[in-house]
Amino acid sequence: MAQRTIFAADRTIRRYLLGGVATCILLVGGAGSLAAVTELSGAVIASGKLVVDSSVKKVQHPTGGVVGQIFVREGDAVQSGTVLIRLDETITRANLAIVTKSLDEFEARLARLETERDGKGSIIFPASLVSRQDAPEVGRAMAGEQS
């Protein structure tokens, strides 16, 4: 008895599934054949002008920053190449100093490691460091590798 109920349910599900698949095939086939035989008799051609909303353009720096000076006001006419703002250099200069210090330390370390590898007696620093050895950061980097 239980076996018959399972087979009956299986037949019912199969019948609905086949009906759904057949309906989908008919819809897709009908839409495809309609698209294949329908002709487009023409197109609408119109002229227009694209204008920025209220003629205001937003200008954004690609990496961000703090505005130090603004050279124009709203409504001023500007030409291509006109300087509109100047970004504050404080953060950028601080980051440059940090990166320069790191590069100097790595360059001094590289010179020391090459000296150790080659078995030389004293470290031969590159000219880029020697020319700036009077700068406190460069002098410290060179002294740190000699000790």
Q: What is the pLDDT of residues 12-23, one digit of tens each?
A: 889 999 999 999
pLDDT given for residue 17 in this prediction = 94
Q: Is residue 43 part of a domain?
A: no
pLDDT tier at 24, thresholds 50, 70, 90? very high
Neighbours of 108 (CB within 10 A): 22
Q: Is residue 80 part of a domain?
A: no
pLDDT given for residue 52 in this prediction = 61
pLDDT surpasses 70 at 30: yes
In sequence order, the β-bridge partners of residue 85 are 70
Tens-place pLDDT, residues 76-135: 888 888 888 888 888 889 999 999 999 999 999 999 999 999 998 899 999 999 999 999
pLDDT tier at 27, thresholds 50, 70, 90? very high
pLDDT surpasses 80 at 26: yes
CA distance 41 to 138: 78
Q: Is residue 64 part of a domain?
A: no
Q: Is residue 49 part of a domain?
A: no
pLDDT given for residue 50 in this prediction = 64
- Please tell me the total count of domains within the chain: 2
Q: Is residue 70 part of a domain?
A: no
Q: Is residue 55 part of a domain?
A: no
Domain that holds residue 12: 1-35
Q: Is residue 53 part of a domain?
A: no
Q: Is residue 40 part of a domain?
A: no
Q: Higher confidence at residue 6 or residue 46? A: 46
Q: Are 87 and 65 in contact (CB under 8 A)?
A: yes
